[in-house]
Amino acid sequence: MGRLTIRPIAGALGAEIDGVDIAKGLDAQTVTRVRQALLDHLVVFLHDQDGMTMDAYLAFAQVFGTPAQYPMLPGIVGYPMITEIVKHEHERNNFGGIWHADTTYLECPPMGSMLYALEIPPFGGDTLFANQYVAYETLSAPLRAFLDGLTAISSSARADVSKTREDMIRGAGDKATITDHFAEHPVVRTHPETGRKLLYVNVAHTSHFKGMTEAESRPILEFLFQHQVKPEFTCRFRWRKGSVAFWDNRAAQHNPVNDYHGYRRVMRRITLAGEKPC
């Protein structure tokens, strides 16, 4: 316990945690510190977790929430709550390769997600994260007041993000579930644990504002999509084999950089069930 250290990696968000061995389990005090680090930094990274079993990974996730199955792809046989995410050497698109918060097209999107690196390319494949508290707080007061009263429509069928799933769905074959999902969420969400307001739209899933057409919504949304991922709101994580990232899906967006064509990348993801945004 005395060896646990938390080290921020950027001004906006992100921290590396040293001194935690997931395979050995976490005591209550360590769980409390990791959870607080997640709330403080929105995404935390743990290195040197090589050889972690799926049972240990699942047990780690369960101390922070309830694992939930991804709605379109099957989990690993025997471990339906763990999704293996593979980009093969011949593939050009990477899974989820666009700025987004996970599955905001569900009525109750995940509270958090975890990703574990089994195999990484020799270079590239970093993941970017963006702080949506700061994205909201740096908007002008009149724009914040306007957005506070709006509801956004999220869809799983938007073309840019659908393209990033094609290889994974093709590989899953008959086991994939191709169903379009739609949900309504406030444009400005209040975090259920911190009480802070944050911007809750994303370019991958948000199609328009409720009561407005897509054409009417587009200029405002395009501004927000660019604003919410400004470099000063972000951090960049360089993976190692055995690294784990755990992010707060309510307050952070992420974008896996697709710059390692010709190399294989293998990750395992767990998402944690969340509540209906308000």
First-last CA distance in the chain: 36
Question: Whose structure tokens read 């995404």?
Answer: 43
Active site residue 100: yes
Active site residue 102: yes
Residue in 100, 165, 185, 268 annotated catalytic: 100
* Nearest to 116, CA basis, from 52, 188, 29, 210: 52
Question: Whose structure tokens read 């994974």?
Answer: 168
Angstrom distance (rounded) from CA 10 to CA 233: 9
Three-state SS at 86 = strand
Angstrom distance (rounded) from CA 121 to CA 265: 6
What b/e readout covers 234-249, taking b as 16+ CB neighbours within 10 angstroms? bbebebeebbbbbbbb
The burial of 175, by beta-carbon neighbours within 10 Å (0-12 exposed, 13-18 middle, 19 or more buried), is given as: exposed
Residue in 165, 208, 254, 265 annotated catalytic: 254
Active site residue 269: yes
Active site residue 165: no
Angstrom distance (rounded) from CA 166 to CA 88: 13
| Residues designated as active site | 100, 102, 254, 269
